[in-house]
A = this chain, B = another copy of it.
Amino acid sequence: MKYEVLKTEGRAKRAHMETVHGSIETPVFMNVGTAAAIKGAVSSADLEEIGTQVELSNTYHLHVRPGDEIVKKLGGIHKFMDWHRPILTDSGGFQVFSLADLRKIKEEGVTFHSHIDGRKIFMGPEESITIQSNLGSTIAMAFDECPSSRAERSYVEESVARTTRWLERCKVKIDELNQREDTVNPQQLLFGINQGAVFADIRIDHAKRISEMDLDGYAIGGLAVGETHAEMYAILDATVPYLPLDKPVYLMGVGTPENILEAVDRGVDFFDCVYPSRNGRHGHVYTAYGKLNLFNACYELDDAPIEEGCNCPACRRYSRAYIRHLLKAKEMLGMRLCVLHNLSFYNRLMQEIRDALDAGTFGNYKTKMIESMRSGS
């Protein structure tokens, strides 16, 4: 792994990263394919067409179905979904803490019931890393606990301490698995995760602590889970300076285009979020002039594309009126076209951010873009 900062503007970073599955230009938005497929009938071929750099899949979902051992037998997740650029897998922790029933947290890990068939599953740091190793993703995430943004200070302190111990175990486990002969991707990278809810001092202590470990990158987890945007930005302002400058920083589960612009300004490299695909499936589409709801009657006779000048597979050929009709008729094609547009919009936003950073005009670009998006929403 090679990570090189090419340019900075304030705390914003423009970087280049090399992995065994090809290079990544950051800042980058990862396109979320929970179960090794992007919701909305979007394939790896489509991701190639819309300029996606990194695909993100969910460890928990792939563990319960089809099963990570199945994916390993089929040659790993890259071969499984025929996507040969970088893939990041989350640790499963977030899903365990948000989706699963009857969870029980112990030092060893978490016992919970599958949301598919109720089956009892145990997952700790070693299990999470083993699953991710079976999948063979480019970047594995450490297994962490994501406490509520409203959790008590004492609970958060205890939880963060455990997350640190879990991170140490993840590191040991991945080093061991990467040595094995039958490992799908023996160069699998490991990112650690900073936690601490909205307590800046806990976040900072934790950032310092994990920065001492030789990890391939650092994520900030436990944000965008109910706190305000102002709280989120304050935590980034406080925490990012304590993460290594020469390693990628990933803000998990974030967010709106405006959130991303603000977080890039605070030093973040990697993003992921279900907004573009989820909003697309509901007919909410992004433009540089704000979001449109294509269900609105005003688009019934509108033969313009979703966004003038957009070169995505939806805007190249289809009108708002046609896509609105598809959505109202519950034709899957309507969802597909909106998701393709939204992911293209996010990918293009990141390209523009990188171009602005390259040109040293990111500050201007950010102000203009936020103003423009607010004007029409």
Q: A73-B301, A74-B301, A301-B73 are in contact. Are A66 and B328 (CB under 8 A)?
A: yes
User: Number of A interface residues, CB 8 Å?
Assistant: 43
Say which one of A99-107, A167-175, A225-233, A333-341 lies at the interface with B.
A333-341
Contact A332 B40 (CB under 8 A): yes
How far apart are the CA atoms of A81 and B323 in the complex, in Å? Answer: 9
CB of A75 closer than 8 Å to a CB of B: yes
Docked-complex contact A44 and B317, CB < 8 angstroms:
yes
Q: Interface 1/0s, chain A 191-202, versus B by CB < 8 A?
A: 000000000000
**Given contact pairs A45-B317, A301-B73, A321-B74, A39 touches B80 in the complex (Cβ within 8 A):** no
Could you tell me the distance between the alpha carbons of A74 and B300 in the complex, rounded to whole angstroms?
9
Complex CA–CA separation, A73 to B301 (angstroms): 8
A244 interface residue per 8 A CB criterion = no
Q: Tell whether, in the assembled complex, residue B303 and residue A41 are in contact, meaning their CB atoms are under 8 Å apart.
A: no
Report whether B43 and A325 are in contact in the complex, using a CB–CB cutoff of 8 Å: no
Scoring A residues 48 to 83 as 1 if CB is less than 8 Å from chain B, else 0, what string do you get?
Answer: 000000000000010001100010011100011110
Closest chain B CB from A171 CB (angstroms): 31
Copy number of this protein in the oligomer?
2
For the complex, is A37 an interface residue (Cβ under 8 Å from B)? yes
Given A300-B70, A317-B44, A337-B43, do A329 and B82 touch, yes or no (CB 8 Å)? Answer: no
Q: Is A319 on the interface with B (CB-CB < 8 A)?
A: yes
Residues of A within 8 A of B (CB): 35-45, 61, 65-66, 70, 73-75, 79-82, 300-301, 303, 313, 317-319, 321-322, 324-326, 328-329, 331-337
Chain B nearest CB from A101 CB (Å) reads 19
Known A300-B66, A301-B70, A329-B65: A321·B37 in contact at CB below 8 Å: no
CB-CB under 8 A from A61, the residues of chain B are 329
Closest Cβ–Cβ distance, residue A147 to chain B (whole Å): 29
| Residue numbers in B under 8 Å from A326 (CB-CB) | 35-37
A321 CA / B75 CA spacing, docked (Å): 12
Mind listing 6 A-B residue pairs with CB under 8 Å?
A35-B329, A37-B334, A40-B332, A41-B41, A41-B335, A66-B300
